[in-house]
Structure 1
Amino acid sequence: MTRLAASAPDPWSRGLLPLHFTASALVVHPPTGRVLLRWHARQERWLQVGGHGDPGERDPLAIALREAAEETGLADLTPWPDAALRHAVICDVRASATESAHQHADLRFILATQEPNAVKPENDLSPLRWLTVDEALTLAGANNLSRTLDRVKALLR
C-alpha cells in the first residue's frame, strides 16, 4: 500500500490499476454494541460499507463517510471513538461483467450513529442488518472483516 501511494499518479483510480485504494467503515451503535453489515451481492457476503473514491477524492475518511451515508441512509455518522485508521487490508475482488478481477487496498474506519433506526438501504439488492459483534463475527467467518470486528469489540469493552 505504501508503494502504491508513493508511485501511482492516482492510487484511487479503479480504471487504471489492478490494485487501487478504497475506503470503508464499520458502522456501530455504541449504546447497544451493535454493528451494521451490508449484503454485497458481487462478493456474495455480508461486509462493512464503503467503496471507491470519486474522481478527485483523496481523503480516505471523507470517502468512507460519504460511502457509508450513501449505502445506509444515515445522516449522523461520525468517526468513533476517533478518526483513526483502524485497519488496512488488501482484498481480492471477483471479476464482473464490466470489470476484470482486481484488488482493493482497503482503508477501514469505524463510524458511529445515534439513530440506528434511521437506516435505509440504498437499494433492494443491498439489505442492511444490525448485529451483535459476535453475530457479525459468525457471518464474517474467515473473511478479513473478522479482524476489523475484533478491533471494534475491544473498543466497545
Structure 2
Amino acid sequence: MLHKDAVEVLTRWDAPVGEQQDLRAHYLRHLAEHPDGMWRACRPEHLTASALVVDGAGERVLLTLHRTIGLWLQLGGHCEPGDQTLAGAALREATEESGLTGLTIDPMPVRLSRHQILAGGCAGTYHLDVQFRVTAAAGTAYVVSEESHDLAWFGVDELPAGLDDSVLQLVASGVR
C-alpha cells in the first residue's frame, strides 16, 4: 500500500523543471527496482518522509536540533509498517517529533532531497527524502522529543546560521 502510494504521489507531482524532475525519475526507478524501497533495510538507498512545519501565517518554521547529527533540520524520518501513505508518514513523524496536535499536511510534496547519511544506524546509505509542507494550528505548544536536543520556531528571514543548503531550499520552496 505505501509503496503504491509513493509511486502514485511521485508520478502525479508536478515537479519543478531540472534537478527535481531528475530526482523524481531516480526515486521512481528506485521504487520500480526495489519492492522494499520504502524501508530502512533497503540498501544503499530508501525513501524517507519529512515535514517542513510552518505556522498558520507562513512566517515561521519549526526546526529540530537533531540529536545524532547536531544540526537544525526539518522534522521527519523513516517510513514504518503502519504507514499507509507518504504524506501520512511525514505527518506521523512531525507529530511524534514535535508533540504538536492539529497539524495539517499538503498531500503533494514540496520538494525531494537525496542525501547521504554519515552517522547513526543508516551511515553510508542515501535517504531519498520526500518533503511535505505541514501547517501547525495556532496556540499549540511543541514538546522536545528524545530525537532532538531542541526544537524552535524561526522566522523565515531569521533562520539559524549554518543551515544545510537542503534545509534552506526546503524553506524557500515550502513557505508561500
- What TM-score comes out, normalization by structure 2 length? 0.77
- Any stretches of 5+ residues in structure 2 without a counterpart? 1-26
**Aligned with 2:165: secondary structure?**
coil
Q: Do 2:103 and 2:134's aligned partners in 1 also have CA atoms closer than 8 Å?
A: yes
Change in 2 beyond 3 A, CA 1:73/1:103 = same
- Any stretches of 5+ residues in structure 1 without a counterpart? none
Tell me, in whole angstroms, the C-alpha distance in 2 between the residues paired with 1:38 and 1:100. Answer: 20
The residue aligned with 1:134 is 157
Pick which of 21-30 and 124-133 moved more.
124-133
- Is 1:84 the counterpart of 2:108? The answer is yes
Report Cα offsets for 1:20-44 as digits up to 9, x if no partner: 0000010011226110000112222
Identity of aligned residues (%): 33
Deviation at 1:119, TM superposition (A): 0.7
- Is 1:52 the counterpart of 2:75? The answer is no
The residue type equivalent to 1:126 in the other structure is H
Q: Do 1:137 and 1:149's aligned partners in 2 also have CA atoms closer than 8 Å?
A: no
Change in 2 beyond 3 A, CA 1:34/1:116 = farther
The residue aligned with 1:143 is 165
- 1:1-157 alignment, distance < 5 Å: 1-31=27-57, 33-55=59-81, 57=83, 59-79=85-105, 82-96=106-120, 98-115=121-138, 117-123=140-146, 125-136=148-159, 138-140=161-163, 142-153=164-175, 155=176
Q: Do 1:74 and 1:115's aligned partners in 2 also have CA atoms closer than 8 Å?
A: no
Tell me, in whole angstroms, the C-alpha distance in 2 between the residues paired with 1:124 and 1:56. Answer: 20
Report Cα offsets for 1:32-67 as digits up to 9, x if no partner: 611000011222210000000112535110000000
- What TM-score comes out, normalization by structure 1 length? 0.86
Change in 2 beyond 3 A, CA 1:13/1:135 = same
Deviation at 1:75, TM superposition (A): 1.3
Change in 2 beyond 3 A, CA 1:128/1:146 = same
C-alpha RMSD of the superposition? 2.0
